[in-house]
Amino acid sequence: MSALILIELNGSEVNASSRAAITAASKLSDSIDALVLTNDSSNSESVSKLAGINSVKMIVDDSLENVNVEVASKLIADVMSGYKYLVSGSSTYSKNILPRVGALLDVQPISDVCEIKSNNTFVRPLYAGNIMATVESSDETIIMTVRATAFEHSGDGGSAEVEVLSITIPESNSTFISLQESQSERPELTTAARIVSGGRGLGSKENFTLIEQLADKLDAAVGASRAAVDAGFISNDYQVGQTGKVVAPQLYLAVGISGAIQHLAGMKDSQVIVVINNDPDAPMSRMADLVWQTDLFGALKELNEYQV
Ligand SMILES: Cc1cc2nc3c(=O)[nH]c(=O)nc-3n(C[C@H](O)[C@H](O)[C@H](O)COP(=O)(O)OP(=O)(O)OC[C@H]3O[C@@H](n4cnc5c(N)ncnc54)[C@H](O)[C@@H]3O)c2cc1C
């Protein structure tokens, strides 16, 4: 009943959602291996240090510098024989790859697992998180993504053996052309301890910089509602919600966001929710720990000028 974790790297570091996947897998199996697809064998260093990992399987090839999902899914499907579980953090990376692995192995992937009830029964959200469904898998091999906000992030302290797999890289019909990544000095949205998030109430891209200023002051990540993204105030990398990022910071400050269910689906697990909104009936206010019912521009000016 061994488990394989598909590791996602940020540069050479193991990302938070892969660390959550290790914790989730530890509830399913005592024997957990990590799989890394990379062009750089020195990446084994950060993976082998992970606590709770027995061994690290690496597939190293220049073509894996930028992962081609068709190639990645075939490689993973090949490695899966002998494993009962394939577990990965819920991210764009895994959501792109795991359904293809599921198709190749003819099994049903289970996405966004928030709780593990038994070795084949899991809790996952439905209808934008309004329903938590308990699902039971009857597949021989179980493939799942887990929410990074629902499991502790496994730390370092291990010393797993590293094995470089000798495996032929399959042909693919698609070719990698380029990667455009947004660069930011701010904390990463999905793992930030504090998030300042802005909505349509900001009114313009220029005004949205007030959110960025406050985020910098609080050493927080910037988030946004889909309405703010659609209006062009900020790029969609920052969208929180059902079709954006799922976050669970210690502090979520929602400014000019009404609190549509699709937005709440992405941030309702935040520990402390503070709302700035001039509408006392905004749904966002109903789930807030603290509501500042006021004009957001006055509030942001005051907060941005506040000297600690
Ligand atoms: C399939 C689907 C998926 C979706 N996915 C997402 C998603 O992932 N994330 C997401 O956010 N949305 C998502 N949406 C959109 C969602 O339904 C809402 O339309 C959106 O969240 C609204 O954004 P908002 O709260 O910024 O805007 P609005 O609903 O327009 O709210 C603006 C708020 O600002 C307040 N305000 C205005 N001016 C001021 C002021 N001067 N001072 C103080 N307060 C002020 C208003 O009172 C209001 O509460 C999705 C919708 C669909 C159909």
| Domain co-membership, 137 together with 277 | no
For residue 266 and ligand 1, the question of a CB distance below 6 A is answered with: yes
Gap between the Cα atoms of 81 and 143, Å rounded: 13
For residue 296 and ligand 1, the question of a CB distance below 6 A is answered with: yes
Gap between the Cα atoms of 38 and 266, Å rounded: 30
For residue 257 and ligand 1, the question of a CB distance below 6 A is answered with: yes
Map residue 159 onto helix, strand or coil: coil
How far apart are the CA of 37 and the centre of ligand 1, in A? 38
How far apart are the CA of 306 and the centre of ligand 1, in A? 27
For residue 207 and ligand 1, the question of a CB distance below 6 A is answered with: no
Q: Beta-carbon neighbour count of residue 213 at 10 Å?
A: 16
| Domain co-membership, 151 together with 200 | no
| Domain co-membership, 131 together with 21 | yes
Which of 262, 274, 297 to probe ligand 1 with, by most ligand atoms within 8 A of CB?
Answer: 262
Q: What is the CATH number of the domain that holds 12?
A: 3.40.50.620
Q: What is the CATH number of the domain that holds 272?
A: 3.40.50.1220
For residue 198 and ligand 1, the question of a CB distance below 6 A is answered with: no
Directed axis angle between helix 205-217 and helix 296-305, to 10°?
A: 40
In a domain, 180, yes or no: no
Gap between the Cα atoms of 260 and 38, Å rounded: 39
Nearest atom in ligand 1 to 228's CA = 26
| Domain C-terminal end among 164, 199, 226 | 164
Give residue 11's domain range: 3-164
| Domains contained in the chain, number | 2
In a domain, 83, yes or no: yes
Q: What is the mean pLDDT of each run of 10 residues along the chain (308 residues)?
A: 93 91 97 96 93 96 90 96 95 92 97 96 88 96 94 93 94 86 84 95 98 97 98 96 91 98 92 96 94 98 91
Residues 97-126: tens digit of each pLDDT: 999 999 999 999 999 999 999 999 999 998
